[in-house]
Amino acid sequence: MGEYHPIKFLDRLEGNNHILLLYDNQEYADLIIARYFLNGLEKEESCIFFTADKPEIIEKRLSAQGIDVDYYKKKNSLRIYRIEMSDANKLDTRGTLKSLRKEATRGMKPPYRFVGRTITDIESKQGMQLGLALERTGHEHFGEFDNSQMCYYDISRIEKSRRDEWISGLLKSHHQVIYASEQDKAVAFETFLLDEE
DSSP string of 49-114, one letter each residue = EEESS-HHHHHHHHHHTT--HHHHHHTT-EEEEEPPS--TT--SHHHHHHHHHHHHTTT--SSEEE
pLDDT of the residue at 93? 62
Decide: helix, strand or coil at residue 99. helix
pLDDT of the residue at 73? 97
Helix pair angle (163-172, 125-140), 10° resolution: 10
Q: Which domains does the chain have, with CATH numbers?
A: 5-196 (3.40.50.300)
Q: Evaluate whether 119 touches 131 at the Cβ level (below 8 Å).
A: yes
Question: Model's pTM, two decimal places?
Answer: 0.92
pLDDT of the residue at 91? 55
| Residue 175 CB-half CA count within 13 A | 18
pLDDT of the residue at 9? 96
Average pLDDT by stretches of 10, the chain with 197 residues: 84 95 95 97 96 94 97 97 67 72 93 89 92 89 91 95 95 96 93 77
pLDDT of the residue at 196? 58
Q: Evaluate whether 138 touches 18 at the Cβ level (below 8 Å).
A: yes
Give the angle 148-150-153 at the CA atoms, nearest 5°: 165
Decide: helix, strand or coil at residue 19. strand
Using CA atoms, how far apart are residues 39 and 19, in angstroms rounded to an integer?
14
pLDDT of the residue at 120? 82
pLDDT of the residue at 119? 78
pLDDT of the residue at 60? 97
Query: What does the radius of gyration of the chain's CA atoms come to, in whole angstroms?
Result: 16
